[in-house]
Amino acid sequence: MKPAEILNTHKLKRTSCREGILEVVINAGQPLSENEIRENLPGNYDRTTFYRSFKTLEEHQIIHKIVIDNQLVKYALHNSITHKQDHAHFYCNDCDMVKCLDDIPVQKYQLPDGFSDNETEVIIKGTCPKCKNKD
């Protein structure tokens, strides 16, 4: 699962920004915020470029966004790349960490008549083990 290969597969130009983002996201193993990704990136890219890269990668279903409340956005590899099923996400109220709960599949809900669904988000908020032990 190399950044260059992924970009080639999707016929996207292999720019250093895109490769860098993918490198960081792949190695992270958990969803990262824009700033967390930037901190782990060698080059210094304009925010515009960053946003456009994220957008492109999202449109090609290479990464996906997880949004907590208003202002916290985290990025992780898309399920089509990780071969995972749709899963719930955990958010730690203390340290802002987000974790993919790979073993917790998203339940299929029965909607009222006339409604059709195409995506379900489950976000479980609480305290992670690290923060729990800090008290």
Partner DNA sequence: TTATTTTTTGCAACATTATTGCATTTAGAC
Partner DNA sequence: GTCTAAATGCAATAATGTTGCAAAAAATAA
Burial class (CB in 10 A: 0-12, 13-18, 19+), 125: exposed
3-state secondary structure of 35: helix
Residue type, 93: N
Pick out residues in 31-70 that bind DNA (CB under 7 A): 34-35, 43, 45-49, 51-53, 55-56, 70
Q: Which of 14, 125, 130, 132 binds DNA (CB under 7 A)?
A: 14
Closest to a second copy by CB, 4 or 67: 67
Please tell me the distance from the alpha carbon of residue 65 to that of residue 6, in angstroms, as a whole number. 18
Closest to DNA by CB, 28 or 104: 28
Query: Would you give the DSSP letter of residue 133?
Result: T
State phi, psi for 75 to the nearest 5 degrees.
-120, 140
Could you say which of a second copy, DNA, none residue 122 binds, taking C-beta under 5 to 8 angstroms by partner kind? Answer: a second copy
Query: Would you give the DSSP letter of residue 1?
Result: -
Could you say which of DNA, a second copy, none residue 12 binds, taking C-beta under 5 to 8 angstroms by partner kind? Answer: DNA
Binding site for a second copy (CB under 8 A): 65, 67, 69-71, 73, 88, 90, 93, 101, 103-104, 107, 109-129, 132
